[in-house]
Structure 1
């Protein structure tokens, strides 16, 4: 998807004594006595204990933990006569999405947030048994109108990676819908400006594809955005370095092997075609994400 294809794409408490009022002189003496007594008996304040920040794991430790199952979806709609073979393979009809999500539930899988996955990879923070990350790429409006209700019906979190060139355009999500996703407990991450392959990007385009869309999302959402997904899952060493330099903490690819030197920037995902039924989906997760 090239850039030229888009349009722009206490208050204080007052204590009053009961009974007869004291004389001014006795009141002054009492106040002085109390003040002196309090000053003499005051104990030094002990600072509250602080929890030290977690220590990031080494690349080898992160790699060893990189076994969390992850799924990547695109448009959630019915197939049309205009869809080619590839479009059909990455377009999930609503009923199929619901069936696949229900299969995860019935198979004992526990969908977790992207933040929980990254904390597990980086720090070893525990995850529930059989965790799975659900992700949705590109920014289709169907992510808000179809995927979000399906996820909410099952109480599942997910992460959404929209490209920013399409925001507020027909058929794509709006800025308000991104805020809706987060209000519903979902996560929003980056997916470049206009879906360029980052393993083939000219050197003068890194800011356009990484820094600028990151800033756009941060303005919309009102907080830092430090997660992203590579368009087409395409990456190389230079792309990973540029992603880190742009301020992203973690990045997801597709089914290539996790890079042992930058495992947090090459996290794996699997794209389930709409032809997979529940048993097939679960079997693929078990074979693709083997826990050591």
Structure 2
């Protein structure tokens, strides 16, 4: 048998070259993974060692846009004029979320926002938070499905009295809430039955705050550390109690923040069903781009 030495040498060289390339790529990937891990660890250590920002510093930070949604459905003739602000059609909701994705927004969750406000941690470019109040089923079937399409995550403020209820409006089940949590969304508190925070009695801190927190933690297996006020209404003299009951931050609507407790009066705006995607983009920039970077 005649052996072609030239061809054999070329084949051997090629095999060695690809082996070397493979090893090199593997080493580079391992290095990149290690660097990412180290960066993650360093960030956690730095955050733990930093002194938390005071209220004045938190208020001076540029606000992150936070959107609020309630019902994602088509409006009915029987709906009141006031209810129209809380209703957005599925088609419009999808258009608005697509606009956010196309405009380069990246969703953030409450822990990220908290670390930014308190420790100055970095956020992705064009951060935005998308929140849902009241536990409506359409937030799961339409809201969550749409967010997933664009790689977005959301915050679901749950009113626990409604879990699993069916009727003119259907509400999310325990299984839905658990799935949202398992998929990386944040489950947070919105009281037991939507009682106005400004009217809380001593007993309400158990029935409207502690018991709903416990129930949500049993469903998700995770701590519940964020709260949204029903109607967006708060009472300044009670804000300190939220921290005492385990909350790291709380969300209002578009009224002014409290100068002493800015973490417990983080602003949101409602995305009304009458808005076009262009209207929403304008509203976000008008409402949240006033404070300093």
Aligned to 1:264: 263
1:189-228 aligned at under 5 Å gives the runs 189-228=188-227
Alignment of 1:128 onto 2:124 = yes
Return the alpha-carbon distance in structure 1 between the equivalents of residues 173 and 180 of structure 2. Answer: 11
- 1:167-223 deviation digits (Å, cap 9, x = unpaired): 121111111111110122211100000001101222332211111111111111112
Aligned partners of 1:196 and 1:231 also within 8 Å: yes
Larger radius of gyration: 1
Aligned to 1:238: 237
How large is the RMSD of aligned CA atoms in angstroms? 1.6
**1:242 deviation in Å?**
2.3
Structure 2 gaps of 5+ residues are 1-41
Which of 140, 143, 155 aligns to 1:144? It is 140
- 1:204-253 deviation digits (Å, cap 9, x = unpaired): 32211111111111111112110111110010113312222211111000
Structure 1 gaps of 5+ residues are 1-48
Aligned to 1:153: 149
Alignment of 1:164 onto 2:160 = yes
Return the alpha-carbon distance in structure 2 between the equivalents of residues 227 and 110 of structure 1. Answer: 20
Aligned partners of 1:66 and 1:263 also within 8 Å: no
Q: Secondary structure at the match of 1:202?
A: coil
Return the alpha-carbon distance in structure 1 between the equivalents of residues 185 and 138 of structure 2. Answer: 15
**1:66 deviation in Å?**
5.2
Return the alpha-carbon distance in structure 2 between the equivalents of residues 167 and 66 of structure 1. Answer: 36
Aligned partners of 1:66 and 1:267 also within 8 Å: no
Aligned partners of 1:167 and 1:174 also within 8 Å: yes
Return the alpha-carbon distance in structure 2 between the equivalents of residues 282 and 67 of structure 1. Answer: 15
Q: Could you tell me the TM-score, scaled by structure 1's length?
A: 0.80
Aligned to 2:24: none
Alignment of 1:279 onto 2:274 = no
**1:56 deviation in Å?**
1.3
Q: Could you tell me the TM-score, scaled by structure 2's length?
A: 0.80
Q: Secondary structure at the match of 2:71?
A: coil
Aligned to 1:79: 75
Aligned to 1:26: none
Which of 35, 45, 52 aligns to 1:51? It is 45
Count of residue pairs brought into register by the alignment: 244
Aligned to 1:15: none
Aligned partners of 2:88 and 2:274 also within 8 Å: no
1:8-87 aligned at under 5 Å gives the runs 51=45, 53=48, 54-65=50-61, 67-87=63-83
